[in-house]
Amino acid sequence: MHQITAYTNSQTDCVLPSFGMGETKFQRAIATIMFTDVEDSTGLASALGLVETTRFMIEHFTLTRQVVVAQGGIVQNFTGDGVLALWLGSEMTPSETALKALAAVAELVPEISLGNAWKRSMGSLSRRIRIGLHSGEVMFVNDRQWDFSFLVGSEVNFARHVEQAGKRENGTGVDALVMVSGATLHLAGLATASIDPYKLVRLTPAELAHRQSVDWRRPCSRSRTMARANVGL
């Protein structure tokens, strides 16, 4: 892991070009990145039609945004059938980025389950949501005047890979399938420094339920021991 470094435009404009006419800010920092994805969104759209699919996606986007923002994160982009969010290390410590992201996921998963249960009770279609978390160095580019931003870096690509890895997991009986990288677990104090940062670990609903009794935003020896026991680290 690299030490946090935040760059303002004045420090980087000789290397990184500005775009548009607005004020562009470059922030290079450790971040924890979250991708979500609605499984089989194509089949959902075919079954529901445009209007009801839009309603379905808005519900997912709204819930995810509320949870992410409440935990100090940024919703960077809506991907059409998912969300790209991050906790940026220029705004908090690297450890906090991971802890807040995990806390957000721990809150999001039961809300997804409740929403799916309600849909099924009403005879409506539900979908499992895949969630992936990864931590690493990124460049966050933000033009405030034009309200435009994007993320750059190979760690962003790997975060997407973490979420996509959920496709290979058995998702029977779960409404949300959560994959986390070794880098995120290490930053959160839930794994030793020897863990491969690109190791993929699935967190089960039972493990996420520890959020009810253990505040992941404040790691302690008990929570670290529980996490290692649960995920086999």
Q: What pLDDT score does 105 carry?
A: 96
Percent of the chain having pLDDT more than 90? 52
* Calpha distance 179→201 (Å, rounded): 6
- Residue 187 has what pLDDT? 94
**Spatial distance between the Cα atoms of 32 and 153, rounded to a whole number of angstroms:** 12
Question: Does pLDDT of 31 surpass 70?
Answer: yes
Average pLDDT over residues 128-143: 92
Q: 144: which residues sit within 8 A by CB, 6+ positions away? A: 22, 23, 25
Confidence of residue 233 (pLDDT cuts 50, 70, 90): very low
How many helices (H) does the chain have, and how many strands (E)?
A: 7, 7
Q: What pLDDT score does 26 carry?
A: 83
Point out the least confidently predicted range of 5-9, 38-42, 48-52: 5-9
What does R_g of the chain's alpha carbons equal in angstroms? Answer: 18
Domains contained in the chain, CATH given: 9-14+25-231 (3.30.70.1230)
- The pLDDT tens digits of the residues spanning 45-90 come to 889 899 999 999 999 999 999 999 999 999 998 888 899 999 999 8
pTM (predicted TM-score):
0.82
**Listed residue (36, 38, 31, 68) closest to 154, CA to CA:** 31
Distance of CA 206 to the CA centre of its chain: 19
Handedness of CA 57, 126, 204, 199 (dihedral sign): negative
Q: Which residue has the higher pLDDT, 3 or 172?
A: 172
Question: Could you tell me where the DSSP H helices lie in the chain?
Answer: 9-12, 41-70, 94-121, 154-164, 182-187, 205-208, 221-231
What is the CA angle 220-200-172, rounded to 5? 100
